[in-house]
Every structure is written in structure tokens, then in C-alpha cells.
Structure 1
Amino acid sequence: MTLLAYAGAAIAEIAGCFSFWAWLRLERSPWWLVPGGVSLGLFAYLLTLVETDAAGRAYAAYGGVYIVASLLWLWAIEGVRPDRWDVVGGCICLLGAAIILFGPRTA
């Protein structure tokens, strides 16, 4: 469930932020902001579904997922293929996210 929540949150956040980018940088209609705002609300909701004892930990681990999702967006939506440094950096970020989220905790 955690991985699905993170994946959905990443897509929602990137899509919401892209709507603002499209409006400001690509001169799209201000109507792009409506689905963007809904998407950002969905992003925030999905992060609440992550099973962890602290919001900050959920957000920190999400950061790694967000970075990789952003690189996938770069490739799939913007047509720019990530280079080897993007891939290596993304893998390091995912490793860090896994350590934060799944590392053993003491009471």
C-alpha cells in the first residue's frame, strides 16, 4: 500500500505542478490551474495513507520516490531521456528512501 500511495502521490504532485508550469511558462490557459489544484490536493491526501508513525518520515522517504518519478516524467512526458547520472542519482535516492521508511526502529 505504501508504494502505491507514493506512486500515486508522485504522479499527482508532478501533474499538479506541471499545470502551473504550463500556465506560466508555456502560456496555457489559466483553466489549467483547476485540475492542477485538484491534483495537488490528491497528492497531499495520498501521503496521509502511508503507514508510519511520523509525517516527517513519510515526507522524507517520499522525496526519493518523487525524484525518480520526476525523471520518468522527464522521459515520458517531456521527451528528454535521463542520462546515466540521472539514473544513478535516482537509484541512490530510492535506496535512501527505503532506508528511511523500512529501517529498523527502536522504541
Structure 2
Amino acid sequence: MEALKIFGIFTVTAVAEIVGCYLPYLWLRQGHSIWLLVPAAFSLAAFVWLLTLHPEAAGRTYAAYGGIYVSVALMWLWLVESTRPTMTDLLGVLICIIGMAVIMFGPRNV
């Protein structure tokens, strides 16, 4: 159950970060309204707050979070940008998820 909770928090955190970065991209690169910066700022603030909810030390959290971020970014690529991930993309995600699991759930020598 703890693993599912951690995975869920990481996933929501990644979505908040991606939205917070994607909206300025739409403004800067695709000519959308500057008003997109308002929800982007809220999304990035939520991202920072969500990072504080993670159960481990900050460095370990950021390292493990990276694995989930990669997988959510590729889902975003597929669902929002309509670009289907390649087999090597999916293999990379699998490697990242395994790395995240090793970091988060491996034994701790104190």
C-alpha cells in the first residue's frame, strides 16, 4: 500500500510540474495567451508543495521522482501531444521505474 501511495504522489507531482512548464511553452512557442502563465504559476506552486509530501529525504525523493517524471512525460507526449512513444521510449520508462523502485524501496543502512 505504501508503494502505491508513493507512486500516486510522484505521479500527481509530475503532472503538476509538466503542466506548469507546458503552459509557458504554449505561450512562448505557439503564440497562445500570456494568461496561461497564471495557471502555470499555480501548477508550479502545487508542484513545489507536493514535493514536501514525499516520505524520504529530499535528495532521495528527487532522484526517485525522476523515474516517474519520465514515464508521466511520455504519457503526456502520447495523450496531449498526440505522439506515440516508441519501443525504446517504453524500454527507457521501464528502466526508470525499476531505478525509482530500487531507490525508494531498497534497504537502508543507517
TM-score when normalising by structure 1: 0.96
Match of 1:11 among 9, 15, 38: 15
Aligned to 1:76: 79
Superposition deviation, residue 26 in structure 1: 0.7
1:37 lines up with 2:36 in the alignment: no
Runs of at least 4 residues off by over 3 Å:
none
Q: Which residue pairs with 1:66 in the alignment?
A: 69
Corresponding residue to 2:88 among 66, 85, 96: 85
Q: AA paired with 2:42?
A: V
Q: Which runs of 5+ in 2 are unaligned?
A: none
Query: Percent identical across equivalent pairs?
Result: 47
Q: TM-score, normalised by structure 2?
A: 0.94
Is 1:106 equivalent to 2:109 in the alignment? yes
Aligned length: 106
Compute the RMSD of aligned alpha carbons: 0.7
Distance in 2 between the 1:84 and 1:4 partners? 24
Paired with 2:41 and 2:54, the residues of 1 have a C-alpha distance of: 21
Deviation of the 1:2 alpha carbon: 1.4
